């Protein structure tokens, strides 16, 4: 989400996951209303697949953020002398950050 506008920002994978999940839920609901077992099964599968796509996209985004943070931290620590680096790592371990 964007801090200034507070609008939802989706990439293509998230959009596809949401669309597939929503269409699956719609098919599931229609299957219940029409008493169509095949439509309910397809809806359930679609909703699960959409949720999986969305979750995978979010996990990929999280992993990318973690890699960027790790690179920044390693770069900052590499600029320090070994004693200062050890003190910072010890402080971080103690603070359970």
pLDDT tens digit sequence for 29-73: 999 999 999 999 999 999 999 999 999 989 999 999 999 999 998
Per-residue pLDDT reduced to its tens digit, 63-97 = 999 999 999 989 999 889 999 999 988 888 888 75
Q: Write down the pLDDT at residue 3.
A: 52
Does some domain include residue 22?
A: yes
Token pair of 42 as six digits = 């397809």
Q: Let me know if residue 20 belongs to a domain.
A: yes
> Whole-model pTM?
0.67
Number of domains in the chain: 1
Which residues constitute the domain of residue 36? 12-95
Is 88 within a domain? yes
Q: Distance of CA 94 to CAs 48, 54, 65, 89, 91, Å? A: 41, 36, 24, 9, 5
38-57: buried (b, 16+ CB within 10 Å) or exposed (e) per residue?
ebbebbeebbeebbebbeeb
Q: 91 CB contacts (<8 Å, ≥6 apart)?
A: none
- 78 half-sphere exposure, CB direction, 13 A CA radius: 6
């Amino acid at each position: 989400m964007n801090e200034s506008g507070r609008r939802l920002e989706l990439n293509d994978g998230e959009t596809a996951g949401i669309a597939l999940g929503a269409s699956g839920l719609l098919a599931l609901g229609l299957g219940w209303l029409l008493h169509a077992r095949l439509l309910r099964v397809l809806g359930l599968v679609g909703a699960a697949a959409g949720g999986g796509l969305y979750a995978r996209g979010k996990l990929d985004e999280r992993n990318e953020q973690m890699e960027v943070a790790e690179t920044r931290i390693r770069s900052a620590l590499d600029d320090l002398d070994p004693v200062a680096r050890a003190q910072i790592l010890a402080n971080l371990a103690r603070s359970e950050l």
